[in-house]
Copies of this chain bind each other. A is one copy, B any other.
């Protein structure tokens, strides 16, 4: 996938984040939370934060930067208490701002609240306006503060479960939340389960995390995914958890892009191992649009598992296509480098990826990647391979074409910037200079993930969304909050 930074839409920044919650018997929870965030670093590099509670008071440490930079030993030591939540946040253009760093914490008359959010509300402005009308002052323009204020307000009048249910009845959109009210840690997933959240068991407690690899890092065991619409309340003493199925939705809307690109390959999400899904997508890709070329090579690292499945399937079909690592990645390409001229920008890809000439020269090549967003990098790569002697370059993408923005918390390009936004596959092939180009079908995606299309969010590849978004089509019978507010409210 191309560098997401350049593809980011202007306008309100959206979040791709990782969340954690930990409740232990006696041990301080800060260090395990720190390691879990480390494991989720790929979900957000802008800021990292941990909030803990020691039974008496709340402690917090939130900083801009990577987990390893944001915390030193003293910072972690100061975070006393056996319960904690944590958060890593994705870098966004422009308003990179400490105000938006999470967990968001509120010290209010009902005690201490902390909240970590992954996802995106579609009615945040509406809820914010209601709360502002009731006298709430907001310090950021983020969704998270809106959820936190609504929940805190409810907590002044109701118990924890009812308060959460009440808040869920007001907010609409995608969310996986870890919450800490005083020393109680909660996990919540939106009614359609768009963003992942999983429960793990440790020797002396329980953990909630966006991905199972965080549980692995703590040498824990996967218990199960948090269910769509479920509230999980970890026991303060680490002895277990309670489950409250606050809402039931007919269908889920799991984000298929978590499998394609965003999650770690070693994570299990909604019971599917991401690595295997990617290899299966590669196999489907061969089945749907395989071409026998001299070599097949991934765009590292995102295309590797796809290419490996593709090559394997090709080999099983008796094709002579050889798998090769023909593009070498510069591991140190950072966030910023200087590109003063258009010419320099054209050449920038070579700072990141350099072809092994011997692998390419005089050969026909299939290049495999997981997605094309704006097409700039793909065009440069095809050109680069031809410059060093590739006779043909065929591009195969392990997902359908992205034709529309994501409103659920992944920071895609605007519709205008998307190369597939307004043209045919042939047009795109021509634009990137490929001898042929194929995407995968949504049927194949459904097949590889092992879930019905009705249970996936395919909004960015179909333009039809499983949530009710102003000005966009829906792919199902979506109605605003089907959640009944708690009876006694």
Chain A residues close to B by CB (< 8 Å):
31, 34-35, 38-39, 41-42, 45, 54-59, 66-69, 71-73, 76, 78, 80-81, 99, 105-112, 135-137, 139, 149, 152-153, 182, 213, 216-217, 219, 264-266, 273, 275-276, 301, 304-305, 308, 325, 328, 330-338, 340, 344, 347, 350-351, 354-359
| 6 more A-B residue pairs beyond the given contacts A105-B107, A265-B328, with a C-beta to C-beta distance below 8 A | A38-B330, A54-B137, A264-B330, A264-B354, A275-B358, A301-B331
Contact yes or no, B68 A38, CB < 8 A: no
Contact yes or no, A266 B338, CB < 8 A: no
**A402 shortest CB reach to chain B, Å:** 22
Contact yes or no, B338 A136, CB < 8 A: no
Contact yes or no, B80 A137, CB < 8 A: yes
Contact yes or no, B219 A350, CB < 8 A: yes
A83–B54 CA distance with the chains assembled, in angstroms = 27
Contact partners of A66 in chain B: CB under 8 A: 332, 334
Nearest B-chain residue to A78, judged by Cβ: B139
Number of copies: 4
**A57 shortest CB reach to chain B, Å:** 5
Query: Helix, strand, loop or mixed for chain A's interface?
Result: mixed
A73–B340 CA distance with the chains assembled, in angstroms = 8
A325–B59 CA distance with the chains assembled, in angstroms = 41
A362–B216 CA distance with the chains assembled, in angstroms = 18
Contact yes or no, B59 A354, CB < 8 A: no
**A102 shortest CB reach to chain B, Å:** 16
- Contacts A152-B56, A351-B39, A351-B217 given; indicate if A68 touches B139 (C-beta within 8 A): no
Nearest B-chain residue to A44, judged by Cβ: B332
A294–B287 CA distance with the chains assembled, in angstroms = 26
Contact yes or no, A135 B55, CB < 8 A: yes
Nearest B-chain residue to A34, judged by Cβ: B338
Contact yes or no, B328 A275, CB < 8 A: yes
Contact yes or no, A337 B68, CB < 8 A: yes
Contact yes or no, B68 A355, CB < 8 A: no
A291–B44 CA distance with the chains assembled, in angstroms = 41
Contact yes or no, A358 B54, CB < 8 A: no
